[in-house]
Amino acid sequence: MSLEERIPQHVAIIMDGNGRWAQLRGKERAEGHMAGVEPIRTCIKAAIKHGVRYLTFYAFSTENWGRPTAEVEALMELLCRCIIQETPELKAQGVRVRIIGERTRFSERVRSFLDQIEQETAEGERLTMVLALNYSSRDELRRATQRMAAEVAAGTLTAAAIDEQCIAAHLDTAFMPDPDLIIRTSGEQRLSNFLMWQAAYAEFYFPEVLWPDFTAEDFAHALEVYAQRNRRFGKL
């Protein structure tokens, strides 16, 4: 297989560095998040161009509620505004949007926007864009475990039937393949509670660039780096 053909099916991105980007320019942190929307658009276009089928963004973690109220509110507003503004273009591009994470913590208004973008883009067939919102791996595993326990209690699942496939089927990500490539920008080299179960055999790429500065060339370079990796899945 040629390098060009080794395209990851699923790329997941930890968009880090918005705060530092803003700080370097003497701006509010929220402005860094606003500047972080353009590279999302860029990555969607690049993913479609290169034939990536799933693109996941870690947009808001369960821990992010601990940030100053003004920053959390700014992120929620940005999310709603982006949904209103971007939905037509996403539909035109054939992008299906799915949300992972626990939604009940969001306001009713935010939840209705999340439902709306999923419904309106449900027919998209070129790319599935996944937004991780109020998401963390440990919380996802907690929720999956609760559901399995409830099924065991109801008699629809036996403890002995809980194998790896069963666990994966109870995770938020049950509808998609595991990530092949995980990118984290800004030079930090951590998973930070993101897709920990699903990342078992993922390749990692940690560019120094701050998220708002991430370009289509950076995305293409990440795919090149991935294509050169030797994935063995624990085998020889």
Question: Looking at 16, 172, 180, 218, which residue is catalytic?
Answer: 16
Least Å distance, CB 81 to ligand FPP, is: 9
Contact positions vs ligand FPP (CB under 6 A) = 15-20, 29, 33, 36-37, 59-60, 64, 75, 78-79, 82, 211
Q: Which lies closer to ligand FPP via its Cβ, residue 9 or residue 192?
A: 192
Q: Which lies closer to ligand FPP via its Cβ, residue 66 or residue 155?
A: 66
Identify whether 64 is a catalytic site residue. Answer: yes
CA 79 to CA 128: how far, in whole Å? 18
Question: Looking at 64, 139, 178, 193, which residue is catalytic?
Answer: 64
- The one-character DSSP state at 196 is T
Q: Which lies closer to ligand FPP via its Cβ, residue 7 or residue 72?
A: 72
Beta strands in the chain (DSSP E): 10-14, 54-61, 95-100, 127-135, 181-184, 203-205
Identify whether 180 is a catalytic site residue. Answer: no
Least Å distance, CB 27 to ligand FPP, is: 12
Least Å distance, CB 179 to ligand FPP, is: 17
Least Å distance, CB 52 to ligand FPP, is: 19
CA 187 to CA 34: how far, in whole Å? 20
Rg of the chain in Å (alpha carbons): 18
Phi, psi of 144 (to 5 degrees): -65, -40
CB-based closest residue to ligand FPP: 19
CA 38 to CA 74: how far, in whole Å? 16
Pull the structure tokens for residue 101: 């994470």
Catalytic site positions? 16, 64
